[in-house]
Amino acid sequence: MEKKQQTRYEDLVLLPRRWFPLPKLDGYILREFLIKYSVLLLVFIILFILGDVYRDISDFLENKASLHDILLYLAYKLPGNIRFILPISMLLGCMWTMATFGKNMEITAMRASGVSLFRCGGPIFVVGLIVTGINIYFNEALVPFTERAAEMIKSNVTEKRQFVRGLLTYRSSDQQRHWLFNNFTTGNTQHNVTVKTYWSDPMIDSLVLVPIEAAQLQMIREVFPTKADRFLGLPRAEREKLVRRELLGRKVDFFASEASYDPDRKEWSFRNGSFISYDRNEDLTVSASGTGISAIHEQIPFTELRFGEEKIHESPNDILNAIKEKDDLPTWVIWDLIRRTPNMADRVESIYMTVFFYRLAFPWACFLAVFLGIPLATKNERTGSLLAIITAVVIIVVYIVAAQVFLVLGKGGILNPVFAGLAPTVAFIAFSAYRIFHDRN
């Protein structure tokens, strides 16, 4: 009996694994997936639109906004919502498709024909890669533009008076300058600007140690009114050395009626303003009129000052980007800001770098969804689609929560920014890859 059974098994021939293109099978799987994926996308898009309408429509109606402005605002908000919808829809669509195949025993039939589980999901993997590319484009190019356009429409319609009254403040990433704008605009020219910073060698050369001897002596008298005689009796070289020693590192405020930025030269020009310096030693101080602030001189007027990129790193675009949440900045903006700010504070750099790596990893959640969806859906093939979809929701919630926790820890400097930004996505992809290869037979 044993011999007879063994002979019967030896007659069985295992079909080889099929990796070559299978047009009919791939077309069928792709069609079924795209139908379900499109339905999910449409449902989520409608839900997000309804959410935007519920949240913002009252502001537009109270300010009697036109229907054109409302529709344009909703259209500009849509890409920002879609980038979050894409990975969720990919996961649910993948699991819905594979669970349906499993329930109808189609997965069993495919695998019995020599088509591995990994190969069954081939068309879905291709769509996942394409959607990942779309998500990267949305994050890096489209969404920053549309979000800014949506904010401008809402501001123009509902918040005009707030922009006239309000002040915009900006702290440079290297913590060396604090800007105050009465009314910041999107152009390269600003009016009524205050910059709180510290004296540096270029500033001293531009304002105090001017080439003309008489002008230099006059400026020293104005900057050091209580002890100018200490400087004036010295030879020029010694005098300039002493002036630098006294001024370097002191706080100084610049007030300008107009500040313009030349993007070609990467240069700031401050016109028709004044400056005032503050002291670190009590023996040199005089009280700034009416303020009680320790200052070494009264406000001194100037006609024009110019500062290049090596003196002031930030541009109007940097200031405009700073208004937005760092999580909304494109990765190239973050990288360029870090590259151009070598003295960035450690705390600020941790925030930017964590967001940078998180933004690199997040679009791959679309591909991650396929890795998660296929093994989980086929594992539950006998229990139907409902359990698979519930499992998908739990998985995506766990991933999002883990990613956000790591993001917070990275921003706080508790975790390394690279690890905090990449670890959740890499861990889930690795786990899913293990599962799909483990279950491929």
pLDDT in tens, 356-407: 888 777 777 777 777 666 666 666 555 555 666 676 677 777 877 888 899 8
Q: Work out whether the CA dihedral 42, 44, 50, 56 comes out positive or negative.
A: negative
Closest by CA to 330, choosing from 358, 364, 350, is 358
pLDDT in tens, 55-113: 888 888 887 878 888 888 888 888 888 887 887 788 778 777 877 777 777 777 777 77
Interatomic CA distance for residues 197 and 177, integer angstroms:
5
Indicate the residue type of 81: N
Confidence tier at 353 by pLDDT (50, 70, 90): confident
Indicate the residue type of 266: K
Q: How far is CA 421 from CA 86, 87, 338, in A?
A: 20, 17, 16
Query: Can you give the length of the chain in residues?
Result: 441
3-class SS letters over the chain: CHHHHHHHHHCCCCCCCCCCCCHHHHHHHHHHHHHHHHHHHHHHHHHHHHHHHHHHHHHHHHCCCCHHHHHHHHHHHHHHHHHHHHHHHHHHHHHHHHHHHHHCCHHHHHHHCCCCHHHHCHHHHHHHHHHHHHHHHHHHHHHHHHHHHHHHHHHHHHCHHHHHHCCEEEECCCCCCEEEECCCCCCCEEEEEEEEEECCHHHHHHHCCCCCHHHHHHHHHHHCCCCCHHHHCCCHHHHHHHHHHHHCCCEEEEEEEEEEEECCCCEEEEEEEEEEEECCCHHHCEECCCCCCEECCCCEEEEEEEECCCCCCCCHHHHHHHHCCHHHCCHHHHHHHHHCCCCCCHHHHHHHHHHHHHHHHHHHHHHHHHHHHHHHHHHCCCCCHHHHHHHHHHHHHHHHHHHHHHHHHHHCCCCCHHHHHHHHHHHHHHHHHHHHHHCCC
Query: For residue 52, what pLDDT is reported?
Result: 85
Residue 287 has pLDDT above 80, yes or no: no
The least confident of 1-10, 120-129, 191-200, 222-231 is 1-10
Query: For residue 157, what pLDDT is reported?
Result: 72
Interatomic CA distance for residues 423 and 403, integer angstroms:
8
Query: For residue 85, what pLDDT is reported?
Result: 83
Interatomic CA distance for residues 132 and 120, integer angstroms:
20
Q: Calculate the average pLDDT of the chain.
A: 77
Neighbours of 38 (CB within 10 A): 12
225 CB contacts (<8 Å, ≥6 apart)? 286, 296, 297, 298
Residue 334 has pLDDT above 80, yes or no: no
Residue 291 has pLDDT above 50, yes or no: no
Residue 15 has pLDDT above 60, yes or no: no
Query: For residue 380, what pLDDT is reported?
Result: 54
Higher per-residue confidence, 115 vs 441: 115
Neighbours of 119 (CB within 10 A): 20
Higher per-residue confidence, 215 vs 339: 215
Closest by CA to 374, choosing from 123, 121, 126, is 121
pLDDT in tens, 140-165: 778 877 877 787 787 777 654 443 33
CB contact at 8 A, 301 and 175: no
pLDDT in tens, 40-64: 899 989 988 888 888 888 888 887 8
Q: What percent of the chain has pLDDT over 70?
A: 79
Main-chain phi, psi angles of 384, to 5 degrees: 90, 180
21 CB contacts (<8 Å, ≥6 apart)? none
Average pLDDT over residues 3-30: 62
Query: For residue 327, what pLDDT is reported?
Result: 60
Closest by CA to 203, choosing from 258, 271, 249, is 249
Residue 4 has pLDDT above 50, yes or no: no
Interatomic CA distance for residues 414 and 350, integer angstroms:
9
Neighbours of 198 (CB within 10 A): 15
pLDDT in tens, 203-246: 888 888 888 888 888 888 888 888 778 877 788 888 888 888 88
Query: For residue 382, what pLDDT is reported?
Result: 52
Residue 299 has pLDDT above 70, yes or no: yes
Written as six digits, the tokens of 85 are 């919808």
Q: What percent of the chain has pLDDT over 90?
A: 2
Interatomic CA distance for residues 184 and 168, integer angstroms:
7
Query: For residue 289, what pLDDT is reported?
Result: 42
Query: For residue 9, what pLDDT is reported?
Result: 46
Interatomic CA distance for residues 303 and 201, integer angstroms:
19
**Stated pTM of the model:** 0.57
